[in-house]
């Protein structure tokens, strides 16, 4: 169990550094655009989680420890939007279109409301 936590911690550390590096690179190349660093990180994370999920579906012999390191650790620190996207895609693939729509609307709308509430509390 400790090994798993250490693996997730290592992946998370690398994911956080990668997120920061992408943001710095983006700002250096395209300053003052809309939140481009976040968009880039979210889209890259979605691409990566799709590739990793596809690999594990096709090659289940890949280490579960590696999966947790990369998906929970690295991508969890890099962007949780990739997990949101994969969860939504899996709902759609399972024929749960209404549930997927509810998940999207709740995540985005209630997420914005929670952010506003948190900011209001802090002010």
The label of the residue with tokens 């290592």 reads 10
The Cα 82–Cα 64 span in angstroms is 19
User: Is 11 annotated among the ligand-binding residues?
Assistant: no
- Better pLDDT: 57 or 34: 57
Q: Which residues contact 49 (CB under 8 A, 6 or more apart)?
A: 71, 75, 82, 83, 85, 86
Q: Structural domain tally of the chain?
A: 1
Query: pLDDT grade, residue 62 (50/70/90)?
Result: confident
pLDDT at 24: 93
pTM for the structure as a whole: 0.81
pLDDT digit string, tens, across residues 29-55: 887 777 888 889 999 999 999 999 999
> Is 97 marked as a binding-site residue?
no
């Amino acid at each position: 169990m400790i090994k798993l936590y250490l693996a997730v911690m290592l992946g998370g550390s690398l994911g956080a550094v990668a997120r920061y590096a992408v943001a710095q690179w983006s700002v250096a190349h395209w300053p003052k655009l809309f939140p481009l660093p976040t968009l880039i990180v979210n889209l890259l994370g979605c691409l990566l989680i799709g590739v990793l999920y596809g690999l594990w579906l096709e090659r289940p012999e890949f280490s579960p420890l590696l999966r947790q390191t990369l998906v929970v650790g690295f991508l969890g620190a890099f962007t949780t939007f990739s997990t949101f996207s994969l969860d939504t895609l899996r709902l759609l693939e399972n024929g749960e279109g209404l549930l997927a729509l509810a998940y999207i609307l709740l995540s985005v709308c209630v997420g914005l409301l929670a952010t506003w509430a948190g900011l209001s509390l802090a002010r």
